[in-house]
Amino acid sequence: MDSGKVLAACLGQSCGRRTLRHVGRRRSVCSDGASISIWSKPVGPLQRVHHVQMGELDDATRSRRDAAPGFDEFFTDEFPKVVAIASVLTGASEVGRDVAQDSMVKAFRDWSKVSELDRPGAWVRRVTINAAVSWHRRNSRERAARSRLRPGVAQPVQPPEYSFWEAVRGLPSRQRAAVVLHHLEDLSVAEVAEILGVAEGTVKASLAKGRARLEPQLRHLWNVEEGS
Q: What is the pLDDT of residues 87-122, one digit of tens each?
A: 888 888 888 899 999 999 999 989 999 999 999 999
Reported residue count of the chain is 228
Q: CA-CA distances (angstroms) from residue 198 to 177, 182, 190, 192, 204?
A: 12, 14, 10, 8, 11
- pLDDT at position 17: 30
For residue 15, the SS3 value is: strand
Give pTM, 2 decimals: 0.61
| Domains located in the chain, CATH noted | 1-26+163-228 (1.10.10.10), 32-157 (no CATH)
Q: What is the pLDDT of residues 113-171, one digit of tens each?
A: 999 999 999 999 999 999 998 887 776 655 555 555 565 555 554 444 556 777 888 89
Handedness of CA 207, 6, 221, 133 (dihedral sign): positive
Q: What is the pLDDT of residues 15-70, one digit of tens each?
A: 333 333 333 334 444 555 454 443 333 333 344 444 445 554 455 555 555 557 78
Summarize pLDDT for 167-207 with one digit per residue, the tens: 888 899 899 899 989 988 889 999 999 999 999 999 999 99
pLDDT band at residue 220, thresholds of 50, 70 and 90?
A: low
Let me know: does 193 contact 202? Beta carbons within 8 Å. yes
pLDDT at 106: 92
Among 76, 180, 86, residue whose Cα is nearest residue 133: 86
Please answer whether residues 92 and 83 qualify as being in contact, where contact means their C-beta atoms are separated by less than 8 angstroms. no
For the ranges 2-6, 11-15, 35-39, the one whose mean pLDDT is highest: 2-6
Q: Packing angle between helix 160-169 and helix 3-10, nearest 10 degrees? A: 60
pLDDT at 142: 53
